[in-house]
Amino acid sequence: MGGDGANPAPIITPMRGLHLTADLRGCAAARPVMTTPAVLRSTCLAAVAAAGLSAVGELFHRFAPETPQGEAPAGITGVVLLAESHLAVHTWPEIEAVTLDVYVCNLGADNSTRAEALLSALIAAFAPTSVERHAIERGNEPLAAAR
């Protein structure tokens, strides 16, 4: 490009992604999906597959109980890496709450419907008494290439 700085930077295609979150309240602590990593893992992976998304990795971690006697239920953080981006789940059985985070890239294809299906399936799995959902469309503006 001549190196004279007169030519503007080329435009790169927008990232275009959809970021969905949900805060769930009133999730029964006795439900195994709240406290058993294997149950949460299988629930998440089944929901990912049913939504038509592709899991490429995952990690589920159960936290230690809050009391020395281990009487209080312990929550789980789970992450599923998707070919399309990610799913994150955090359970708090001690306050009967869950947070869900689904992000999908829409660069090669529009995965928005799949992301919505995934979030809806997970909300149903926790059977909350209340749900607060948010959707953020991310990266819709073209970016100038770095020089």
Instruction: Give me the active site residues, please.
Output: 85, 90, 105
- CA atoms of 52 and 55, how far apart (whole Å): 10
Closest alpha carbon to 73 in 61, 100, 98, 91:
91
Using CA atoms, how far residue 99 sits from 15, 18, 19, 51, in Å, is 25, 17, 13, 19
CA 71 to chain centre: 29
- Of 146, 140, 145, 147, nearest to 14 by C-alpha is 140
Work out the number of other CB atoms within 10 angstroms of the CB of residue 142: 12
At 97, list the tokens: 């709450």
